[in-house]
Structure formats: structure tokens, C-alpha cells
Structure 1
């Protein structure tokens, strides 16, 4: 008995000791948490109950030169459903009408939505996806559906909003206007004007301190802790929507007819360097065309005959020859170091002048002229090309400009055939935009200017930054040389390879180009690129333009005059239909009022218009999106556009007072 009591006492003491040790450990831990690690846990608790939320800034808009909206931010909605939130009686009552409403709006049969929603409730799915990519109007409509109209807690509707960029004019000039996408590596890829001017467009995010009050529910902790977001600036581009539309459809039509792989066209204002239109179209797997690559800025390739202009200017500047110098085309086939240089016309052109050789794009004439005069000192020829700036990038802000390549005599790749091949545009590489810039310099009396895509950056009516003409080379050659090359460029269209483009209604000047691409990979892999570079009108250039089309169907044709030339002519023709020539004005049998009278009349009329200007929100229903945006923008309103086409709905009712900086949402159809 005594032994048994002793065992019991031992167990009691052991248990008591263990409890004591545990108590000591707990006390030590509590002391450690309170005094040693207390600050860490207090900070952790605060982080989980108090949090800084980012307030996104409103991204700036991109406008065309004439005020049309090219890119804007609009809200985009995703609707999910918490299937356990509604009461059983509400779920049963509203399930059928909700399924019917979803069917009408989203298109699938009512039974599909009925089964999906029932399955979501059976599976206790609290995050079931109902619809995505909804516009603001569609979001407001779906919120009013049976069950969903009861709200988040009783109806189970969950709304997720994000902001997306919309191009009101569609996919025209999409690559140049730009966009932001996630690439194959999962990284953000921003291209075009969007990428180049992101620091101005994006604005600055704000911050708001919020406190957690329930699951997924946060409330602001006063205004003092808030950092206000700063909206992004607006970008006024150089793009002219009218010219852009002409260029896009002219290029598209030609690509489709010739079943070409890809092509581009750029129209530039001669005296300013403003890019008025730029279109880059590539062939998709289904045979359609879309803007996926900025070929005009990026694609550096052998230009072919359009490069002959650089050789001609170098020859004339160095006074090596004159345009009247006669060359024998030698049956249209000359051999240099075992390699043939051939003319497109079998048998050649006989004996012709350098000017005529340029007009007919004779390879044998230009190669002889360059090689015979520079073979003893090829560096002299290359130095001319370098002085033109053809060996350097233009430095345009849009990312991805291709690097030009002008061979240098000290290069390991330089060989005996390099110089003669340069004479007709092979062995060198340039992008379409770089080639156009050189032609534009000729049109602009020798002044080479950098292409510009943006005119100014604005915050409402205040100009933040203006982009003026940027001169790369003030004078690429003498006035005498310019006069001669302008004459032969005009004659290319009048009586040379571009004679099919000739029009008695307006003058054009330029050079055709037909280059073999990938000729080193064998006959089966070789294809043609067809080009035309020039300017119009020839006597007083207003615009320069380049058209390049790659890999046209050889069954239909591949020469530059046939493939790319018509695009150039179509663009020039359409622009000229809106701008009468001085000759047309001279023929009008009308007396013209004095300038002072015209100005006074115009000023009085303008004042009357201003006095009658609307002071209330106008009714824009039925107007084109561009016209509505221009009208409302001029009244000081900020405009958001949903869709493409004509206005079918506006968020602010007509007739209510205008408050500047107010936002109005237009829904287009």
C-alpha cells in the first residue's frame, strides 16, 4: 500500500513538474513576443488590417493632327457570381428569368445558363465566371437582371473592372499608334506612340490608406493619407486621319490583288517631316492582312533601284560625270569579276545618257558610272553616302528602328564586287523610313529632316511640349545637283519606268525599285520586293511618299512600277482631289475680293458663330464618332468612346449645362 502511494505521488510530482515547465516556456514566449518581438508582430498586424491601395491614374488620349481620337481608355467589366450568396428562395425564384436575360444578352441558349448556374450552386462555387469584356452599357444592363439587381450580398453578383485602350478608328495605323500587350515571356510589350511616350501618357498613380473591416471589405482612413493620382497628358500626333485612310486602303487593295506577303506605305509632309500616314500590313494565315509589325520603321533590307539616287547625287557632286554622259549598255549584260549585272530589258538599251539610264533604271549604266569613277578610291564614294547620313539611324522615338548598313572599304566583308553592286542598290541595307527621309531631302531643297510622329503634348488647353522640325543635314548637295536630279526624277514618271503613273492633272517625281531578296538562298527561296519612292507635286513638293511591297505573286507581276507605283499614284490623286491646283484657280472667271474685306467678313462671321455657340450638352446621337469627339472636346468636355461608328447613346443628357473637364461617354455602333 505504501509502495502504491509512493508511485502515485511520483506521478503527481512528474505531472506538476511538466505543467510547471510548460508554464515557464509559455511565460518566456509571451515575454519574448511582448518585449522582444512585439514591434514585429504589431507591424504585421497593422499590415494585415491597414493597407495602401493604388489609385490608378487616367491615361492620356492620343489624337490625330485634326483632333480625331486615335486611342483612349475605357472601362471593361468581368461579371462573376457567388452562388452561395443568394437565399434558397431567391435563387429558385429568379434562376429562370436570370437565365433568360443572360441568353438574350450573351447569345447562348437559356438552358445553358440555367444549368451552369445550378451547377455552380451545387458545387458551392463562389467565383463563377458569367461574362467578360463587357462595355459600360452592357455592365449597367447586366446589373439590372433578375437576382443580380439584389446586389452583391443578396444577389451574388461580383464585378471586376479594368481599363483597356480602345482605338476608335479601328485597326488602321494600330502598330504606330501603339498598344500594350504581354509577350511570350510574360513581360509587358508596349509599342508605337504608346510605348515611345509612355512617361507622358501614363500619369502618376495615387495611394489611399484603407482599413479592413470585413472579408474583402476595406474603407478609407481619412483624406490626409491619400496621394492624389495625376492624370496622363494627351498626345497630339502628326497623323492625318483622311490621308491615313487613303494610304491604308490603297496598300491593302494592292496587297490583296498581288497576294503579297507584306508591305508598308509612309506619307510625310515635305517641309516639316510630319508623318501624315503610315500603314504596315502583313499577311495572316487565313489570307487576311493586319498590322502586326512596323515594317516601315524596323525592316532594314536591300533597297534595289531606289538607292540609285544616292549614287547619282554623289557622281554629280564630285563632278565625275554629267547627266548627259553617254554609256553603252552592252546588250544589257555586263560581267564584273565573274558576276553578271543585267538590265530588265533583254538586249539592253543601246547607247544612252546617264540621265536616260536613270529614268529607265538601267543597272548597267549606273554600275558603270559608279565603278568606273570610284574603283581607284571607293572610300570617296562611301564618304559621300556617310555624309548624306545613310549609315546612321534616324533616331525616331518609336522603338525598334532598323540599323542601316553601308559597307566600308575596311570591312572584312568588302570585296571586289561590293562597289559595283552598291551602284544599283545591293549590298546595302536601309529601312523604308530611312529611304523616304533621303528622298524627302531632295524634295525639300536639300534639307534632310527627321520624321516626326508627334506634334505636341498637352494637358487640356496647355501645351506641355512642342515638337518642331529637327534638321539632320542642312544641305545634302548643291543647288545645281538638286536641279538635275529633280529633273530626272520627274522624267521617271513622264517617260521612264514610272510612265504608267503619269497624270496630266498633277505632277509627280520619284524612282521605281525592284529588288531580289534572299537571292543567296537559292532560286526557290528568292523573291522580289517592289517599291516606289518619290514626292508630289513635282514642281512644289508638299508630300513625299514611299511604298514597298514584299513577295508579290510573280504570276501577276513584281516590278515596282506595276506593284507599288499604283499605290503611290492613288494616294497622290486622292489628296489632290481636295486641294485644287493654282492652274485650276487661274481659270475661274471670278473677281476676288480684297484681302482686308475677306478678313473682316470672316472675323464678323466667326464672332456671330461664337455668340451662337451652344452652352449646353448637344445631342450627338447619329453623328460620326470623330465629329462627336471633336464637337464635345471643343466644348471642354473629356470624351470616352465605346465601340466604332456612329453615336447611338451618350451618358450625359442633351440640354444640361456644360461643366468643363466633365467626362461624357459615347457608345458607338
Structure 2
């Protein structure tokens, strides 16, 4: 009996285990069915995401050009070559290893033996992401892809190509802060400054997409050589900068900064009628004494202008009929007191009794302070309203970010005092940026029409204009023509027989105003050493028919060498005017920068001859053509053109006579 009971108990256990196995098998089958058919898409997508991923291919930013067609900023493709040592078959690897090592040696410079052992080591360690070289141009990329083994492609030959884009400035660091560059902010975000930042929406383009597969050590390689979505390059920006004028302005400013050991300075040259900024240079002193562009002082630095503000005060008084240029003022020995404070002339002993016009020409602080105070002491608001009417209390609204805020004291301000009015007469207790000061002077030169400074004139896609930036009028008439005529005559005399007489030349005419501001004066500067001089010259040329206006400000010159505006900043202004004027010094005509040039016309003719004779289905030979002409010709044929360097074409990546596909890339290397 006991034996039978034991057998039954064993049978129950077997049945129980069998039942449990059957239940588990059913559950596993249900789960597998669920995974395969119900949740299959989810898990397949999850697996794909972990092993295959879309990577962004940054679009090439559009180019930035100068007004005369010179390349200021461009994107250059830069390539990294890696090797997937697992991909090639054993027979292919062994057959081509020696040839590949020899080819790499010739191209990259290291011994063939070095590459032979490196590649074999990568094969042995199953390195799927071995670095071969980086920093290749497109032409070099095509060459390395033709090497033994690599020419078999990504899957059979193991070659991995990665593209990066490098932003280059062909003319160097001249106007770098205005042209713009990339910087990383505190949060790690990539930002652009200058024209690059202001017109980023046009320059950026649209990024492409490429499918990549995860390999060893969390590295990724392209699945194929064809992008999922091709990147679309950004539009080109045609700036107003003229490289010829820019070069003159930059080096003239640099020379003065170095001689006077100044802290920083800026120069801006603007086309009178249009407001196009033809040159802008901002240079600051580094610890080693060299100068470089980091801050756009011309646009962003708002400070007391000093004597250069006297023009605004003079125009206001003349327009309000408060004074006449022939009215006589006593300089009182060069020292006039207001409520316990003193206004002093730079010339010891003053200028005696002089007319208002002569006081302006000599930059007499005492004359201008008396003229403004006597004219408006009963109604300061009238003076302020006139200045506000000029637009001096508002930003210009220029395209480049970071414009400094101007300050014109208002009678209702808490900081307004009894001395504010006379102090404004010679340029203190007010604040303007160099570009804001220049814009007012340019309005006088432009017979009263105030125009907004412009840094870009056109947005283009190849030869197609996307947007144009024409003259923008801020104020159609800041004052009467009578007032304009009077102050123009006075500013011409500043150069002929006033504080700017050292700059006078009988060969070309200029008009303007000197300025020597004491920065931080009266704010503890004399005791703590913070007070320094800002030397200014601002005006226009030619004096009779102005075509260009210019402002030069040099901050903190070495006092022992000089600090007056005529001595420090004036020579920069004179150099710019002199070089822009015709090379024949005996004539007083200005150089027509937009006039037809014989050599240029010949280039145009050769371009059209070439365009009319090429076979539209084959790659033309563009070697020795102007870079700009070659870009236009190839672009019109449907090719995507990348340019390296400036000048004429010395090498092209696609062979002349070969067939091509639309949107195929071609690299031009210029001399």
C-alpha cells in the first residue's frame, strides 16, 4: 500500500511539473506573439534607434562679400578620414594594404612602414574608427578616396569620411568685429556677432541629414555615401564695406594707436547720400601692446563726445534764431564761472573777444558755453526739444546688435542741474556713440537729410537678388538750408584756419570738427587716475560737394606724446581723405569708386564670351578665370561651388569635359 501511494505522489508531481511547463510555454508563446505582432514595431524602432540614428549635416553658411566683390567670410568644407578595420574582407585587406600605406605616405608625409603597421594593428584590435588624417580639403578628399582599398568604398574598403565646416576670413582680421565671427556664450550656445549675427537668418541655410550606424566604443559611421537629406547652403550677403577704403582706414588708425600708445580707437567712413558704411575699424590694445578687434566701439561705446557735440549746439541755436555767427563773445581770459564751477579753454588766456563762428573754429569752450546758456537759460526745454528733434536722444536702429544708448539730459531728470545747460554747450553731460555722432555730421554734409548707417546692401542667391537695402531716411530735414550753409562754411574754416589747420591741404578740401574730451572728468578722475582723453576728428570731404563722411576717435593716448584731436585723430581722417581722392594731387576731384574700369570691363567681356561658348552638359575649364566669374558661370549651370582663397582660379576639383549632375559640388582653389 505504501509503495502505491508513493507512486501516485510521484505521478502527481510529474503532472504538476508538466502542467507548469505547458503553462510557461503558453505564456512565452503569447509574449513572443505579442512582441512579434502587437509590439513588434515599437521594439524594432527602439533597436533601430539604438544602432541607427539620423545625424545633422550643417549647411554651409552663405558668404559675406565686400561691395567691390572681395570675399570677407566664407565656409570651407573640412574632412576627417577614419578607417573601419573590420569592414574589408581578408583577401582585400591583404591585397591592398601595402599600396594603401605607400599612397598615404606620399600624401601625408610619414613613412609607408608607419601606416602599414598602424593599419594592421587596427585590423588586429578590430578598431572600427581608426583615425587616418583630418583637415583635408575637398580636392584632397577625392584623392584619398582613390587610394587602394579605400576606392572600394565604405563597406568593402572601410573608409569613413566626416565633413566639418570651417569659417574663414580671406582678408584676415581687418573689420573682423563688423564682418562678424562665431563665439560661445556663457551657456555654451553658439552665437554670431556683427553682420554674421545680424543677417544669420539669411546666411544659415538649411541643415541636411545623414543616417549613421553605431559601431564599437560608441562611435558612429555613415551607412552610405548618399545623404538622406542634402543640406541647402545659405544666401550670400553683400556688405557695403569697400576693401580699398577699409584697408586705408584700418592701417591709418593702427599707425596712430601704436604711436600714441592709446588704449583703443575706431574709425568709420560713410557714403554721404546713401549711409553705406564703406569702412569701419575698431582696435583695442592687448597686454602685449598689439592691437586687435574684439569690441565694436563705433557702434556700442556711448560716451561724452566733448567738442564734437558743439556742432549740434550751434545748429540748434541758429535754427532757433537765438544767435548769429557774427555775434561777438568775450572769452574772459579763457575762464567762465557758473554756480561755482568753471569752464576753461584749452588755450591759456582764452581768445579775447571773438565772433561765434570764430569761437567754433577755435573750439572755445567759454564761447560755446556762454552762447548756449544765454540763449536758453530762460527755457532749457526749447534747447532739449531741438536736440531731440534732431534724433540725438534715440538709437539709430542699425542692423548690427549692441548699439549704445545715447543720452541727452532732459529738464525733468533728477540729474539735471543748474550747470547742465552750459556744460552741454561744449559736449559734456551728454553721451553719444561714434556712429551716432557721425550720422549727425553726415546729415549736415547731406544738406540736412539724415540717413541711417547701413552695413549690407544686398542679399543674393548666386546671381539672383533676394533683398536689397536702399537708403533709409531717419529725418528728411534736420534744419533749414540757411543754417546748413552757415555751419558748412564754418567747418571748412576749422580745417583752413582753425583747430584743424595742421590737416589743411590745398590739393583736396575737407571740413570737420576737432574734439578733445576729458573722460571721467569731475568724477574723481584727477585723484584716482581714471580721467583720460578721447581725441576726435569728425567731418566730411570734399568740403563743397561732400561724398564721404568720417569719424575718428582715439581713446587714452599717451599724454606726453599728445592728446588733442587735431594731432591724434586728425591724421587718420586726412589719410583716408587723401587716399580716396584722386592719385593726381593737383586736382580737387574725388576718386569715382563706381566708375567703369577698363580691366574690369575686359573681365566682364571675357566672362560673357566664356558663358556663351561652354557646353552646358559638360564641366568647363575655368582655370585662370576670375573667381567671381567662375562662381557665377558654374552656378548658372546648376553646380554647387565652394571657393578656397581669393583671386583667379588655379585648380578645379572636377575635370573639364566630364559630364555632371545638377547640384553636384565643385571646389575651386584660387590663387
Q: For the structure 1 residues 618 and 80, does the alpha-carbon distance in structure 2 shift closer, same or farther, using more than 3 Å as the test? A: closer
Q: Secondary structure at the match of 1:577?
A: coil
Q: For the structure 1 residues 453 and 102, does the alpha-carbon distance in structure 2 shift closer, same or farther, using more than 3 Å as the test? A: same
Q: For the structure 1 residues 203 and 378, does the alpha-carbon distance in structure 2 shift closer, same or farther, using more than 3 Å as the test? A: same
Which sits farther off after the overlay, 558-567 or 63-72? 63-72
CA distance in 2, matches of 1:287, 1:121: 53
CA distance in 1, matches of 2:670, 2:560: 43
1:432-451 counterparts in 2 under 5 A? 432-451=434-453
Of 541, 544, 560, the match for 1:555: 560
CA distance in 1, matches of 2:586, 2:54: 63
The answer as to whether partners of 2:463 and 2:632 remain within 8 angstroms in 1 is no
Q: Is 2:406 the partner of 1:404?
A: yes
Once the two structures are TM-superposed, the CA of residue 495 in structure 1 deviates from its matched residue by: 1.3
Listed one character per residue, the Cα deviations across residues 287-342 of structure 1 (whole Å, up to 9, x for unaligned) are: 32222222211222221111111111111111111122222222323333333322
CA distance in 2, matches of 1:553, 1:122: 67
Q: For the structure 1 residues 18 and 358, does the alpha-carbon distance in structure 2 shift closer, same or farther, using more than 3 Å as the test? A: farther
CA distance in 2, matches of 1:371, 1:505: 39
| Alignment partner, residue 514 of structure 1 | 516
| Alignment partner, residue 318 of structure 2 | 316
Which sits farther off after the overlay, 24-33 or 657-666? 657-666
Q: For the structure 1 residues 205 and 611, does the alpha-carbon distance in structure 2 shift closer, same or farther, using more than 3 Å as the test? A: closer
Q: For the structure 1 residues 320 and 458, does the alpha-carbon distance in structure 2 shift closer, same or farther, using more than 3 Å as the test? A: same
The answer as to whether partners of 1:61 and 1:71 remain within 8 angstroms in 2 is yes
Q: Is 2:535 the partner of 1:530?
A: yes
Which sits farther off after the overlay, 657-666 or 526-535? 657-666
Once the two structures are TM-superposed, the CA of residue 153 in structure 1 deviates from its matched residue by: 5.8
| Alignment partner, residue 581 of structure 2 | 576
Q: Is 2:77 the partner of 1:72?
A: no
Of 492, 495, 505, the match for 1:493: 495
| Alignment partner, residue 617 of structure 2 | none
Q: Is 2:296 the partner of 1:288?
A: no
CA distance in 1, matches of 2:77, 2:49: 30
Q: For the structure 1 residues 58 and 654, does the alpha-carbon distance in structure 2 shift closer, same or farther, using more than 3 Å as the test? A: same
Once the two structures are TM-superposed, the CA of residue 389 in structure 1 deviates from its matched residue by: 0.4
> What is the TM-score with the length of structure 2 in the denominator?
0.83
Once the two structures are TM-superposed, the CA of residue 54 in structure 1 deviates from its matched residue by: 5.3
| Alignment partner, residue 183 of structure 2 | 181
Listed one character per residue, the Cα deviations across residues 176-215 of structure 1 (whole Å, up to 9, x for unaligned) are: 222333334211111222222222223334568x697998
The answer as to whether partners of 1:98 and 1:147 remain within 8 angstroms in 2 is no
| Alignment partner, residue 588 of structure 1 | none
| Alignment partner, residue 129 of structure 2 | 127
| Alignment partner, residue 303 of structure 1 | 305
1:72-471 counterparts in 2 under 5 A? 72-82=74-84, 93=98, 101=106, 104=109, 125-140=127-142, 157-205=159-207, 216-218=221-223, 230-471=232-473
Which sits farther off after the overlay, 448-457 or 647-656? 647-656
Once the two structures are TM-superposed, the CA of residue 479 in structure 1 deviates from its matched residue by: 1.1
CA distance in 1, matches of 2:604, 2:140: 43
CA distance in 1, matches of 2:661, 2:13: 86
Q: For the structure 1 residues 537 and 466, does the alpha-carbon distance in structure 2 shift closer, same or farther, using more than 3 Å as the test? A: same
CA distance in 2, matches of 1:440, 1:566: 19
CA distance in 1, matches of 2:325, 2:352: 16
How many residue pairs align between the two structures?
643
CA distance in 1, matches of 2:534, 2:246: 23
Q: For the structure 1 residues 48 and 183, does the alpha-carbon distance in structure 2 shift closer, same or farther, using more than 3 Å as the test? A: same
Q: For the structure 1 residues 6 and 282, does the alpha-carbon distance in structure 2 shift closer, same or farther, using more than 3 Å as the test? A: farther
Q: Is 2:551 the partner of 1:546?
A: yes
Once the two structures are TM-superposed, the CA of residue 535 in structure 1 deviates from its matched residue by: 0.2
CA distance in 2, matches of 1:14, 1:659: 72
Q: For the structure 1 residues 95 and 636, does the alpha-carbon distance in structure 2 shift closer, same or farther, using more than 3 Å as the test? A: closer
CA distance in 2, matches of 1:660, 1:566: 54
Once the two structures are TM-superposed, the CA of residue 252 in structure 1 deviates from its matched residue by: 1.8
Once the two structures are TM-superposed, the CA of residue 150 in structure 1 deviates from its matched residue by: 7.2
Listed one character per residue, the Cα deviations across residues 535-562 of structure 1 (whole Å, up to 9, x for unaligned) are: 0000000000111122222232222111
Of 557, 566, 570, the match for 1:565: 570
- Root-mean-square deviation (Å): 4.1
Q: Secondary structure at the match of 2:488?
A: helix
Q: For the structure 1 residues 138 and 611, does the alpha-carbon distance in structure 2 shift closer, same or farther, using more than 3 Å as the test? A: closer
Once the two structures are TM-superposed, the CA of residue 45 in structure 1 deviates from its matched residue by: 5.7
CA distance in 1, matches of 2:463, 2:420: 55
Once the two structures are TM-superposed, the CA of residue 76 in structure 1 deviates from its matched residue by: 1.0
The answer as to whether partners of 2:71 and 2:646 remain within 8 angstroms in 1 is no
Q: For the structure 1 residues 581 and 27, does the alpha-carbon distance in structure 2 shift closer, same or farther, using more than 3 Å as the test? A: farther
The answer as to whether partners of 2:270 and 2:277 remain within 8 angstroms in 1 is yes
Q: For the structure 1 residues 608 and 36, does the alpha-carbon distance in structure 2 shift closer, same or farther, using more than 3 Å as the test? A: closer
Which sits farther off after the overlay, 647-656 or 333-342? 647-656
1:40-59 counterparts in 2 under 5 A? 40-41=42-43, 44=46, 57-59=59-61
The answer as to whether partners of 1:97 and 1:146 remain within 8 angstroms in 2 is no
Q: For the structure 1 residues 159 and 38, does the alpha-carbon distance in structure 2 shift closer, same or farther, using more than 3 Å as the test? A: closer
Q: For the structure 1 residues 453 and 580, does the alpha-carbon distance in structure 2 shift closer, same or farther, using more than 3 Å as the test? A: farther
Q: For the structure 1 residues 460 and 423, does the alpha-carbon distance in structure 2 shift closer, same or farther, using more than 3 Å as the test? A: same
Which sits farther off after the overlay, 141-150 or 475-484? 141-150
CA distance in 2, matches of 1:33, 1:203: 42
Q: For the structure 1 residues 576 and 351, does the alpha-carbon distance in structure 2 shift closer, same or farther, using more than 3 Å as the test? A: same
Once the two structures are TM-superposed, the CA of residue 508 in structure 1 deviates from its matched residue by: 0.3
Which sits farther off after the overlay, 113-122 or 59-68? 113-122
| Alignment partner, residue 629 of structure 1 | 628
| Alignment partner, residue 595 of structure 1 | none
Where structure 1 has 5 or more consecutive residues not aligned to the other structure, the ranges are 586-598
> What is the TM-score with the length of structure 1 in the denominator?
0.83
Q: For the structure 1 residues 570 and 661, does the alpha-carbon distance in structure 2 shift closer, same or farther, using more than 3 Å as the test? A: farther
Q: Secondary structure at the match of 2:668?
A: strand
Once the two structures are TM-superposed, the CA of residue 579 in structure 1 deviates from its matched residue by: 7.9
The answer as to whether partners of 1:101 and 1:145 remain within 8 angstroms in 2 is no
